[in-house]
Amino acid sequence: MWISGLKETDMKKGRPQSKNVFYFPHYTKRIPELELIEHRHGAEGYMAYYKLLELLSDADSHFILRQTEDQKDMFEMGMKVSPKVIEDVINILINTNRIDKKLWENEIIWMDDFVQSLKACYYNRNRPLPSKDDIKQLNNINNSISTTNNSISTTNNSISTTNNAISTDVNCHKRKEKKTKEKGSKDFPRINDKKQMENPNSSPDVIKLYQLFISDNNISPSKSELSIVSEALDRQPLEFWKPIIAIYHKSGDKKVAKFFFESDYTKYLHHPSISYTYECPIDGCDKRETRDSKDLYKLCKEHPEEGSQKMVLIKY
């Protein structure tokens, strides 16, 4: 992703590992900081908040650099709201400890609680979540490169020393990485069951989500259905799907798993409504109307002596 700072060389052959996600949880329960953002900036503030989460989702290792003018301009392009709104939204999130204050002092946006909400996705990938240590490691690498370049311009001896140090460091890193992968981790254990090794899609959450969808705990999914449900969990955790499937069952609809998890599930999402109130501009006229459109054109005809008046949007 162009807006992220972390670009690692993938040492594996074949398809490179994903360092971002295509979806993130959008919970229906309102949070105080979002309420404050909406109170100050209305729909534009609401848009700014979720645009920020979109950019963090798409950024490699889920952090954003704003250290150069190009990075700042590209960030504003991605946010698609005014700089004033962006600045206030970020300040609100810093003051509520949603954005890491120390990293922000270095023009880095990191939201730890947001990254934690992606845990299910990385669990299904059998990989650990990105962390602040990834950012610190990047800064150390950059400092090392800077020091190395200076030593190269000074003396050939330092080139030899630096190359040897880099070689030793890389080999050490490979050994540690290999050891970690063999052991797994507490949060992301390796799959030891032979059947699950043969079919990694058959994790407990995948089976549970499928049986929840079909309302039957005795039916086993086919290989294609396992793959479909596994991809759904890769996008969103099990807790995201539970209320959606509950609404789906209440509706009485019958959907094929493929179409439900790929697109039809959006029909059962809860979308918070945004309404706008309009009033007549004539003093003493109490006519008001509420609509879901910000571009309403309507005339008030309650006072013939003044003529028809276009109703105006109330700004709170």
Can you give the pLDDT of all 316 residues of the chain as single tens digits? 444 444 444 444 555 677 788 777 787 777 889 999 999 999 999 999 999 999 998 988 899 999 999 999 999 999 999 999 999 999 999 999 999 999 999 999 999 989 888 887 887 778 888 888 877 666 654 554 444 455 444 445 544 445 555 454 545 555 555 444 444 433 333 334 434 434 444 578 888 888 889 888 777 778 888 888 888 888 888 888 899 999 889 888 888 888 888 878 888 876 555 677 889 988 888 888 887 666 677 888 888 888 888 888 886 5
Q: Which of 28, 30, 82 is nearest to 51 (CA)?
A: 82
Q: Which of 243, 185, 186, 183 is nearest to 209 (CA)?
A: 243
pLDDT, residue 226, reads: 84
CA distance 295 to 118: 37
Half-sphere exposure (Cβ direction) of 312: Cα atoms closer than 13 Å: 9
Sheet containing strand 312-313, strands side by side: 288-291, 276-279, 312-313
Global confidence as pTM: 0.43
Give CA separation, 180 vs 69, 101, 132, 243, in Å. Answer: 38, 30, 18, 36
pLDDT, residue 72, reads: 92
Is the CB of residue 137 less than 8 Å from the CB of residue 176? no
3-state SS track over 81-115: CCHHHHHHHHHHHHHCCCCCHHHHCCCEECCHHHH
CA distance 30 to 39: 13
pLDDT, residue 122, reads: 80
Q: Which of 117, 129, 125, 119 is nearest to 230 (CA)?
A: 125
